[in-house]
Every structure is written in C-alpha cells, then in structure tokens.
Structure 1
Amino acid sequence: MADAAPPRQLNGGKMPNGTRIGGTRKAAGFIPTRRLEALTDAVFAFAMTLLVLNIELPDDFDPKTTRDFMQGLAGLSDTFIAYLITFLVLVAFWSGRAQATHEPEMASPSYARATLFHLLWVTVLPFSMLAVSRYDVAGAVWLYSANMILLAVTGILISRATKRDSGREDAGDGRIEFGLLIASAILSMLISLISPDYAMLAYVLNFAAPFLRRRVDG
C-alpha cells in the first residue's frame, strides 16, 4: 500500500491552524508582520509630532524683555516635564518594538489585536499629556496614568503573543520595563491625591529599568 501523503503545508512550510513543524510552533497567519511594523512606525512618529504641538505659549503672551520671555517659558515647566516624560516613554516602547528579533513573518490574530490596541493608546497619549500639563488636578493625573497602564498592559500582551507565535521562551518579555511603568503610574496617582504638582515625578522610576535589567540578566 502506498504511503499516506504528507500533510499539506502552507506559507513556506507552515502548517494550517498553527501546528508544529520541527519542534517549533508556527502561528496561523493573519496579516504580514511587516505591515503592522509599518503602521506602528507611522503611528509612533505621528504621536511624537503631536506631543510638541501641545507646548503652546498663552495667546496673550507679549514679553517686552528677555526676562519676561524667560519667565513665560518657566511658566510652561509642567508642560515641558510632561512632554519629556511622554516622549521618552514613546521612545522606549518604539525602540523595544524595533529591537524585537523573534517575531514571525505572519502575525497571528492575537498578536495583531494586541498591537492595534497598543497603537490605540499611543494615539491617545498626546491628549493625556495635554490634560496633565494644563490642569493641576488629580483627575488629569489619573487620566495620564491610566493611559500609561494600558500601554504597558498591551505591551505585555504583545510580548506574550510573540513568545507564543515564535515558540521561543528566550524572547524578551519586557516584564521589568512594563512593571516599572505600571508601578510608577500607580505611584503617580497616589501622589496626585496629596499634590498633583509633583505627581509626574513618579515616572523618574522608569530610568532604573536598565540597571534592574542588567542585574536580572547578570
């Protein structure tokens, strides 16, 4: 009797329904990963550009001397701090995505959903920054912090989907970076109940991420 025909393979050796080939799990293709990467780059670039547009001098600002001008800029200190923190967070998220090396050629539905929801909260970030820089109230801080937490949570979902789709347990999960961002956001919310003016300083904790990463990896 003739041998049974081998199972049908798709996409250069990938099996239907995300089965395993040679011990490595291949996720069922949903959309080319490169298309999501292109969209991600565009959304991050657009969001970063919108951030600086939120830095505005008052319409009635009319300095007569250099001192008046510098005092006017000093009045924007909260906006500059919010801008710097938000920009650095976006840079960290984008660079983490750009350095990912274990993403499959075809993105699974779970990976695509996580990425799109992540980009949703990226696009909301300029508005959150505008609110927290313009209004010194706890509610604005909570809005910004919630945005940060949702960014971190969707980042975790992307990392888990990458591990699952690539079948590699050594794929970086960013748990330290995401954990610090969530912790600093919660701390910022708590500080805002006492002094909203100093709530944004909680995000300085995120600068400790590289040191913690080296200690864990070492």
Structure 2
Amino acid sequence: MSTLSTPPDEAVGERSTGRLFGLSDAVFAIAMTLLALDLGVPELGEHPTEGALRHALAAQGSHYLAFLLSFYVTSVYWRRHHAEMRGVRVTHPALVRRTMILLLAVSALPFASNLLGAYGSEAGIVIAVYAGVNAVAMGALLLIRWTARHHGLDAGAGPRPEDPELWLDLVAMLLAVPAGYLFPGHGVVALMALLVISGRVGWFVTRRRRRRGSGSAPSSGAAPRDPSGG
C-alpha cells in the first residue's frame, strides 16, 4: 500500500510564499481598480455643449490628479514589495503580519485618494490623512525589509543601492503633514513637490551608491587571484 509522503519544508515554504505573493498582488490589483472607479463622469444631462463638458472636466481636475498620484504610489509600493520579497523563499509569522499592515494601507488608499480629490485644496487634515496612509504603507515596507533580513529569509540579504529611496519618500510624506497646514489651499502641490524632490534625491543617492559599489569591485580586466596562493 502506497503512503503519501510529506513534502519537504522548502517546498512548503515556497508554497506559503507564493500564496502571500498571490494575496498581495490581488489586493494591489483591486486597489488600483477602485481608484479608477472613483472617477465620476460629469452629469450634464442630454446633449451638453462642448464648453460645458470642458468646464465640467476641468472642475474634476483635482480628482484626476489624485487618481494619477495614487495610482503611481500604489504601483511603486507593488514594485518595492516584490523587490523586498524577491529573495524570500520561506515565510515567517512576522513577515505575514507586516505584509498585512501593508495591504491594510493599500486597501485604504482609494478612500484617501477620493478624499484628496474632493477636499485636498481646502483642509490640512485631508493631506494629513493621505500622507498618514502612505506613511503606514512605507513603514510596513521598511519592516518587511528588516524582517526578511533579520530572520535570514532573504537569500540575497544585504544593503542595496536603492535602500535609501524608501526612507526619503517616508520623510517626504511626513513633511507633507505640516505643509498641508502651512500652505492652506496648496497642500496637494506641496505634497507632489516633496515627492518629486525625494524622488530626485533618491535617484541621485542610488546612482552614487551604485557607482561606489562598482568602483570598489575588481575590474574585469584584472586577472583573478588564486585563493590558494599558487
């Protein structure tokens, strides 16, 4: 009589990681879809004039801007989550908890985006809510990075040139909270300006770290050294 063999721990771990990836991808996809569903069509009755349509679309400009910004940051979170998890082969309870925090923030982004589009130019609290949701997502990504490396779950654990980018974006989101109150009526502009600055600084820092890393590596033209000393 044949017996069912228990799969190796590595196979079980890879399946668990695959399920975690599948759940995360599904939440990201749903959140991105909900962002688009919040874009309303102007109600102008039958046979509106082109001028009326143009005016109505312009009036919805803040909603379109909030959609583009939120879609962008959501796609960045998805990319960074995959980057932090690409070397992970086995899950850990702490890693699952941190991922749930990330997915919680991503799920709340459509609400925060709709709030930003409707009242972003009127109240500082709206910028604080939007920045707070994004700060939670970024903090969760940083915790995922730390957990994967601290528990030895990442096969390629170690500092990466792009590591500071997430910290810079987190600082930008935190600075957006007081900026929303200091510049009433221009909180969205201040938020986007801070993100652009953090993005440019992050690009510069990453490029510099990569150059430093490639400069410290042995040149391709040098002959490899025999470790035996012969």
TM-score band w.r.t. shorter chain:
0.7 to 0.9
How far residue 87 of structure 1 moved from its aligned partner, in angstroms, is: 0.7
Q: Percent identity?
A: 24
Does residue 91 of the first structure (1) align with residue 83 of the second (2)?
no
Question: Which SS does the other structure have where 1:166 is aligned?
Answer: coil
**Which residue among 119, 128, 137 is the counterpart of 2:112?**
128
- Give the Cα separation in 1 of the matches to 2:116 and 2:73: 15
Question: Which SS does the other structure have where 2:40 is aligned?
Answer: coil
Per the normalisation by structure 2, the TM-score is 0.74
- Give the Cα separation in 2 of the matches to 1:43 and 1:152: 16
Does residue 138 of the first structure (1) align with residue 124 of the second (2)?
yes
CA contact (8 A) 2:169 2:199 kept: no
- Cα 1:124–1:98, aligned 2, differ >3 Å: closer, same or farther? same
**Which residue among 26, 51, 55 is the counterpart of 1:67?**
51
- Give the Cα separation in 2 of the matches to 1:174 and 1:62: 52
Does residue 191 of the first structure (1) align with residue 184 of the second (2)?
no
In structure 1, the partner of 2:154 is 166
In structure 2, the partner of 1:26 is none
How far residue 129 of structure 1 moved from its aligned partner, in angstroms, is: 0.7
CA contact (8 A) 2:131 2:174 kept: yes
In structure 2, the partner of 1:11 is 9
- Give the Cα separation in 2 of the matches to 1:106 and 1:61: 57
**Cα deviation code 1:104-144 (max 9, x no counterpart):** 32201111111111101100010011111111211111100
Q: Which moved more, 1:172-181 or 1:118-127?
A: 172-181
In the alignment, structure 2 segments of 5+ residues that lack a partner are 1-7, 212-230
- Give the Cα separation in 2 of the matches to 1:77 and 1:32: 43
Does residue 211 of the first structure (1) align with residue 204 of the second (2)?
yes
- Give the Cα separation in 2 of the matches to 1:187 and 1:62: 45
Query: Where do 4+ consecutive residues of structure 1 move more than 6 Å?
Result: none
> Which amino acid is the alignment partner of residue 199 of structure 2?
F
How far residue 196 of structure 1 moved from its aligned partner, in angstroms, is: 4.0
In structure 2, the partner of 1:153 is 139
- Cα 1:76–1:63, aligned 2, differ >3 Å: closer, same or farther? farther
- Give the Cα separation in 2 of the matches to 1:32 and 1:68: 54
Q: How does 1:39-50 map to 2 (within 5 A)?
A: 39-50=23-34
- Cα 1:186–1:101, aligned 2, differ >3 Å: closer, same or farther? closer
- Give the Cα separation in 1 of the matches to 2:72 and 2:103: 16
In structure 1, the partner of 2:225 is none
- Give the Cα separation in 2 of the matches to 1:116 and 1:174: 24
Alpha-carbon RMSD = 2.7
> Which amino acid is the alignment partner of residue 137 of structure 1?
A
> Which amino acid is the alignment partner of residue 131 of structure 2?
S
> Which amino acid is the alignment partner of residue 28 of structure 2?
F
- Cα 1:180–1:97, aligned 2, differ >3 Å: closer, same or farther? same
In structure 1, the partner of 2:223 is none
**Which residue among 168, 187, 201 is the counterpart of 1:180?**
168
**Which residue among 44, 61, 65 is the counterpart of 1:81?**
65
- How many residue pairs match? The answer is 195
> Which amino acid is the alignment partner of residue 215 of structure 1?
R
Per the normalisation by structure 1, the TM-score is 0.78
